[in-house]
Structure 1
Amino acid sequence: MNFPLIKISIHQQQLYLLLDETTTLTYPISTAKNGVGQQQNSGCTPLGEHQICEKFGENFPINSVFVTRQFTGEIYDAQLAKQFPQRDWILSRILWLDGCESGFNQGENIDGVCDSRSRYIYIHGTPDSEPMGVALSHGCVRMRNVDVIDLFDKVDVGTKVLISLD
């Protein structure tokens, strides 16, 4: 087994970072409100083996706001939240996931596009007012900002991410 390794449990709403055979860090998360699924436009969190294909946000301040992986110049706060109440906030850091299973979470299948990367599935920060341990995202894996920064600093592009129901 290669380390570090990320395991995401949908049922437990937890992300486990395995640093080696004996060291595991655990973070609360929020996956998709629509449940699990691979298809484009499903609003679901995809299952299976993934890897981090790109990282965004290094050295930006906590609560930095990103749109299409670009820093907007904004820092999230209550006033900004009131100004844009419908925004799906992507904050602090982004770990972009690429599916590794052709026809399941990579490329296409009989039902259409099932590609996690082209679906823009991320592990990213979210406002601290959003609950963790409850599935509420639009497909991504949401984390507390301090947690996603910690995770970001411990993993590299190419790190394996296994998303399962357990």
Structure 2
Amino acid sequence: MMSQSSPMSPQVNLQVVFSAECTPLFDWHSVAIFYSFDYCNFSAVANLTRLLACSEEEQKKYPKASMDIGPTFVHRNLRDDPLVDEKGYPSYNKPYSVMSWLETRPPRESGEDEFVLMTDADMVFRSPVDPLELGAARGVVVSAEYTYLVGTKTGFAERFIDKEIVHKLAQVGGFHIFH
């Protein structure tokens, strides 16, 4: 659960996103996060968008009521997509969802800042989050340390990035605020 005690800086433009799939479990997570976002009045200072991984076949069966839970951006589901060489591995959906969503966003005015808070679907909000108060800035990402995560020392990361920068990786998760 993320909490921030002071009201958000009025000059901050913040988009909050979370990644989900079109399944009943993620629907319940979505209901909770949208409810908490409104209940704590975070919706007065930021926008919340669900980034929904849902194949065309899944969309045909997905209930309209589930689609209408809150503002939603739908993208292809990489869980079993031929784009990746692994079956049943949904972890690519989170970075792919953010990339796909960002590609549809209009360009910002020159010099106009916008922050994105990417959170996990199973989190809720108690109060608005101020990216500036947490230290987010151009080129500075704020995240939570998750030391139990694996992947930075197993060779997995080297499938995607150059070996020379692997030492710069950090075990983080839960949320990320970036510019």
Please classify the TM superposition score into its range, dividing by the shorter chain length.
under 0.3
Normalising to structure 1: TM-score of the pair?
0.24
**Rg larger in structure:** 2
Q: Which has the higher strand share?
A: 1
Q: Which has the higher helix share?
A: 2
